Amino acid sequence: MKIGIPKEIKNNENRVGMTPAGVLELTKRGHEVYVQSTAGEGSGFDDEDYYVAGAKILPTIDRVYDQAQMIVKVKEPIQQEYELIKEDQVVFTFFHFASDKRLTEAMMKTKSVCIAYETVEDKDGTLPLLTPMSEVAGRMAIQQGAKYLEKPVKGKGLLLGGVPGVRPGKVLVIGAGTVGIQAAKMAAGLGAQVTILDVNMNKLRYVNDVMPSHVVTEFSNEYNIRKHIKTSDLIIGGVLITGAKAPKLITRDMLKEMQPGAVIVDVAVDQGGCFETTRPTTHEDPAYIIDDVVHYCVANMPGAVPHTSTVALTNVTLPYVLKLADEGWEKACRDDDSLMKGVNIVKGRVVCEPILEAFGWKEAMA
Ligand SMILES: NC(=O)c1ccc[n+]([C@@H]2O[C@H](COP(=O)([O-])OP(=O)(O)OC[C@H]3O[C@@H](n4cnc5c(N)ncnc54)[C@H](O)[C@@H]3O)[C@@H](O)[C@H]2O)c1
């Protein structure tokens, strides 16, 4: 199969859909890979790396779309790319169709086959192509939180790990899912005192089994949250209720009970945030202060570490890319239930229920 890797053109997106390691796996199997010149630059891979792995380097995005039977990328296509997508071309990327009617209609018009990373789903309900981004964000939350505790950025002036003779910071992690566990692990590694809350006892049992003894688990309820925010230096929001907006677990009035200069990092900002005072920020201007509490609420945290994020993402997308290339999309999806869940639009027809529901098209078809 001919596979195209275009350069991402969405603002501030430095990830790329495939690493040279992926190109090598594909070319070894006899596939042809067309990489747009400088596509990997933002992630630390140059054209030479791709060329050595067996790719053909093309100078323009148009040539990549023109050559390829399958496009592998990271972000949803933006308007300039709509025209480039051809009938029957497979496009494997993040789409998030349910929140973008214009994109959905544009992709229907192309008559391409759109397979979305975010809806590829394992039997146990986990989303294997989203997990690595939560892992990155969870670990980064502590790195950023520790930085914003510093005085020059209006934090309380506390070193998260402490030093001999001085107490370390207290970290409260709300949600013991992928984000929460990675955050707790990083905080514990720095020597902080960590409390992690969840409503799912199995998650708490797991954390209790695998974490060191300075990571304490407690059930998530208003009483425990109110108790802990009074003494926490850093609070991480990592809550998710699938398909719903995040619950507001720390309200505006509760901020007054927190210590001046304490920091909250709301990783769940992309689902509306789990703090009432959360509003999405960007890497250009990541933090703001309300009632003396520093808020860090970047909606695309992995974007700041494109090398790590690209490798983490492509580690999990590559097995699916190989299947799609080896077997063609129809057989690959028929044989793999997880991948089948990723199929969103086929040649002009939306085949993914939540998208139909989001736009009220299900009723229209009934
Ligand atoms: N900002 C970013 O750049 C970024 C990056 C990746 C993920 N995220 C977001 O981070 C959030 C968490 O993702 P995840 O992969 O860890 O999800 P996950 O499903 O693995 O974990 C969510 C956890 O929240 C728990 N939970 C639900 N209600 C709760 C409550 N009231 N109190 C405490 N815990 C509760 C669940 O039991 C679950 O363990 C999501 O909204 C995700 O979209 C943001």
Residue 5's CB is within 10 A of a number of other CB atoms, namely 26
C-beta of 128 in contact with ligand 1 (< 6 A)? no
Q: What is the pLDDT of residue 141?
A: 98
Core vs surface per residue 164-192: b (16+ CB within 10 A) or e: eeeebbbbbbbbbbbbbbbbbbbbbebeb
Q: Which of 319, 178, 294 is nearest to 235 (CA)?
A: 294
DSSP 7-64: PP-STT----S--HHHHHHHHHTT-EEEEETTTTGGGT--HHHHHHTTPEEESSHHHH
Q: What is the pLDDT of residue 366?
A: 58
Q: What is the pLDDT of residue 358?
A: 85
Assign 250 a pLDDT band (cuts: 50, 70, 90).
very high
Instruction: Report CA(145)–ligand 1 centroid distance (Å).
Output: 17
In the predicted model, is pLDDT for residue 10 greater than 90? Answer: no
Q: What is the pLDDT of residue 199?
A: 98
Q: What is the pLDDT of residue 246?
A: 87
Q: Render pLDDT for 144-179 as a digit per residue (tens, 0 to 9).
A: 999 999 999 999 999 999 999 999 999 999 999 999
Q: Which helix (H) or strand (E) holds 317?
A: helix 306-327
CA atoms of 309 and 311, how far apart (whole Å): 6
Instruction: Report CA(186)–ligand 1 centroid distance (Å).
Output: 17
Q: Is 270 a catalytic residue?
A: yes
C-beta of 137 in contact with ligand 1 (< 6 A)? yes
Decide: helix, strand or coil at residue 2.
strand
C-beta of 267 in contact with ligand 1 (< 6 A)? yes
In the predicted model, is pLDDT for residue 114 greater than 90? Answer: yes
Assign 43 a pLDDT band (cuts: 50, 70, 90).
very high
The dihedral sign for the CA sequence 304, 307, 310, 316? negative
In the predicted model, is pLDDT for residue 267 greater than 80? Answer: yes
Token pair for 72: 């592998």
Q: How many CA atoms lie within 13 A of 176 on its CB side?
A: 24
Residue 211 DSSP class: S
Which range (208-212, 225-229, 297-301, 343-347) has the least confidence?
Answer: 297-301
Assign 243 a pLDDT band (cuts: 50, 70, 90).
low
* Maximum Cα interatomic distance, the chain, rounded to a whole number of Å: 69
**Which domains, ranges and CATH numbers included, belong to the chain?**
2-120+306-365 (3.40.50.720), 131-304 (3.40.50.720)
Looking at ligand 1, which atom is closest to the CA of residue 203? 39
Residue 244's CB is within 10 A of a number of other CB atoms, namely 9
Among candidate residues 47, 96, 292, 307, the one labeled active-site is: 96
Helix axes 306-327, 20-28, angle to 10 degrees: 20
Give me the chain's average pLDDT, please: 96
The dihedral sign for the CA sequence 181, 283, 99, 111? negative
CA atoms of 269 and 288, how far apart (whole Å): 14
Q: 196, 221, 239, 265: which to mutate for ligand 1, most atoms within 8 A of CB? A: 239
In the predicted model, is pLDDT for residue 306 greater than 70? Answer: yes
Q: What is the pLDDT of residue 270?
A: 84
C-beta of 179 in contact with ligand 1 (< 6 A)? yes
Looking at ligand 1, which atom is closest to the CA of residue 179? 16
Q: What is the pLDDT of residue 63?
A: 98
Q: What is the pLDDT of residue 330?
A: 98
Q: Is 96 a catalytic residue?
A: yes
C-beta of 355 in contact with ligand 1 (< 6 A)? no
Q: Render pLDDT for 59-101 as a digit per residue (tens, 0 to 9).
A: 999 999 999 999 999 999 999 999 999 999 999 999 989 888 9
Assign 364 a pLDDT band (cuts: 50, 70, 90).
low
Mean pLDDT throughout 113-139? 95
Q: What is the pTM of this model?
A: 0.90
